[in-house]
Amino acid sequence: MNALIVVVKNPIPGAVKTRLQTRYTPEQAANLYTAFVRDTLDTVRSIDLDKRIIAYEPPNAEDAVRTICGDHWEYIPQVQEDLGQRMYQAILQQLQLGAKSAILIGTDIPSLPASYISQAFDQLQHKDVVLGPSTDGGYYLIGLSRPCPEIFQNINWSTSTVLSQTTESLRQHNYSLGLVPPWFDIDTPEELDFLVAHASAQELATGHPTLPCTLAYLSALT
């Protein structure tokens, strides 16, 4: 059994995508985040999965998050600890419930190819851990095939050293590692501009439109 966990915050204006507020109002930034969530979940729906879980934050936000994500998900609250423990406990819960592999992704990656997630599940058939490096020095995807608590400890979260520190911890504790290709998070207006340009190039190259929710919202702002 495989399980995919998508981390979702309640999109309260002023509490999400705050770095976008140098260009957008808090309400607009929250609406953009909601569009990111919907585009991410559209991608996930194309993957063959046994379990699909939304790990939501804060703990009282299930109804609000369910309104965005729909009823085709299992909903669990994130534990109220640091980022590492929020991720690890969500993954560990699925392993303890019988999943052979569990992967967690965020919702700052609305253009992530579904094939990267599928590749990650394939690698977890023979690796302890799989990572999807992000271009900001962290990772956008982490998956485990067995408990690996050490790699979530003593990490300077939300910094450019997260990937390097995690890799060193993997080395120290002799966990085997699989990698999927790097991808990019969207935190700043400049990164959003790149996302839009990349989506336009992808549509031109493939003939298939991408990011319907994000691009529709941005178009409505102009």
**HEC string of 134-199?**
ECCCCEEEEEECCCCHHHHCCCCCCCCCHHHHHHHHHHHCCCCEEECCCECCCCCHHHHHHHHHHH
**What pLDDT is attached to residue 98?**
96
CB 4 within 8 A of CB 105: yes
CATH number for the domain that contains residue 63 = 3.90.550.10
Structure tokens at 195: 């996302």
Q: Print the domain residue range for 60.
A: 2-221
pLDDT bin (cut points 50, 70, 90) of residue 180 is very high
Q: Per this entry, what is the length of the chain? A: 222
**pTM of the full predicted structure?**
0.96
Residue 102 has pLDDT above 90, yes or no: yes
Residue 122 has pLDDT above 80, yes or no: yes
Residue 91 has pLDDT above 80, yes or no: yes
**What pLDDT is attached to residue 11?**
97
Count of domains forming the chain: 1
**Cα angle at 206 between 203 and 211, to 5 degrees?**
40
Burial 193-207 (b: 16+ CB within 10 A, else e): eebbeebeebeeeee
Residue 222 has pLDDT above 90, yes or no: no
**What pLDDT is attached to residue 117?**
98
Phi-psi region of 154 (alpha: psi -120 to 50; beta: other; left: phi over 0): left
Residue 208 has pLDDT above 90, yes or no: no
Inter-helix orientation angle 212-221/26-44, to 10°? 160
Burial of 143 (0-12, 13-18, 19+ CB in 10 A): buried
Q: What is the mean pLDDT of the chain?
A: 96
